[in-house]
């Protein structure tokens, strides 16, 4: 499983990129609006920093508007992936982008049929939202497993992005259940490398080393 960062903060993206594990970035309108900057300018900054896929979401609700917006976003850099909501209009737009060889990430996926429809329309990625499903008492890992099983059984190459990640266990479980990618909030990325026994071990090794000097 690869790692994307779920952020529009250029500082967070640069810092994650220094770790050498960053395969891409996802943004959404909420994350961009927190930044208080021009969306296109920020996308230029992100795409010059990160060589992998950078998802940029359209806000139109009709296919025509999504296609127009998506073309403009895709012209910013070759690694832009147009993020499209999981609606009937969204599927029409995904088909159009697929014909234009523009990559798409179908977002706000909450069941397996939505994922299958998106894949068949030509989506490069589907994004099932784990945290938001768990919040309403559903088993988000069951969904990842079901989508991965269907895609494997039917030879579908669309990649599954585990999104709406809230904690490190989501990451481990998404990997175990067949997600290709997890898109992580910066805070969770930091949590993945932490363990109290690692910290205690370093402290003990250094204390022992300094005793002998």
Residues with a known catalytic role: 83
Q: Is the dihedral of CA 187, 189, 193, 195 positive or negative?
A: positive
Site string for ligand E4P, 88-117 (x = CB under 6 A): -------------------x----------
Buried/exposed 103-139: b ≥16 CB within 10 Å, e otherwise: bbbbbbbbebebbbbbbebbbbbbbbbbeebbeeeee
137 vs 195, beta carbon nearer ligand E4P: 137
d(CA 77, CA 12): 20
d(CA 96, CA 66): 10
Dump the DSSP string for 90-143. Answer: HHHHHHHHHHTT--EEEEEE-SHHHHHHHHHHT-SEEEEBHHHHHHTT--HHHH
**Nearest approach, Cβ of 107 to ligand E4P (angstroms)?**
6
**Nearest approach, Cβ of 57 to ligand E4P (angstroms)?**
8
49 vs 134, beta carbon nearer ligand E4P: 134
Tell me: does residue 53 bind ligand E4P (CB under 6 A): no
99 vs 169, beta carbon nearer ligand E4P: 169
The closest of 174, 76, 81, 101 to 134, measured between CA atoms, is 174
**Nearest approach, Cβ of 198 to ligand E4P (angstroms)?**
27
Q: Which of 47, 104, 140, 164 contacts ligand E4P by CB under 6 A?
A: 164
Q: Which of 163, 174, 179, 181 contacts ligand E4P by CB under 6 A?
A: 163
Residues 119-148 that bind ligand E4P (CB under 6 A): 127, 129, 131-132
Per CB under 6 A, residues contacting ligand E4P are: 6, 26, 28, 107, 127, 129, 131-132, 163-164, 183
């Amino acid at each position: 499983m690869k790692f994307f960062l779920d952020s529009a903060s250029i500082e967070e993206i640069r810092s994650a990129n220094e770790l050498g594990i960053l395969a891409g970035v996802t943004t959404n309108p909420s994350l961009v609006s927190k930044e208080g900057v021009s969306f296109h300018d920020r996308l230029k900054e992100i795409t010059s920093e990160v060589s992998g896929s950078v998802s940029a979401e359209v806000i139109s609700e009709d296919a025509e508007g999504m296609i127009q917006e998506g073309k403009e976003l895709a012209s910013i850099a070759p690694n832009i992936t147009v993020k499209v909501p999981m609606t009937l209009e969204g599927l029409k737009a995904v088909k159009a982008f697929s014909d234009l060889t523009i990559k798409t990430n179908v977002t706000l996926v909450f069941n397996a049929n939505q994922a299958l429809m998106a894949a068949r329309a030509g989506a490069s990625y589907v994004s099932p939202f784990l945290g938001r499903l768990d919040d309403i008492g559903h088993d988000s890992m069951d969904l990842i497993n079901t989508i991965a099983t269907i895609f494997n059984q039917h030879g579908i190459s669309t990649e599954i992005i585990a999104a709406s990640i809230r904690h490190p266990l989501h990451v481990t479980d998404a990997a175990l259940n067949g997600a290709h990618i997890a898109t992580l909030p910066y805070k969770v990325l930091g949590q993945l490398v932490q363990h109290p026994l690692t910290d205690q071990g370093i402290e003990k090794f250094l204390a022992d080393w300094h005793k002998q000097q």
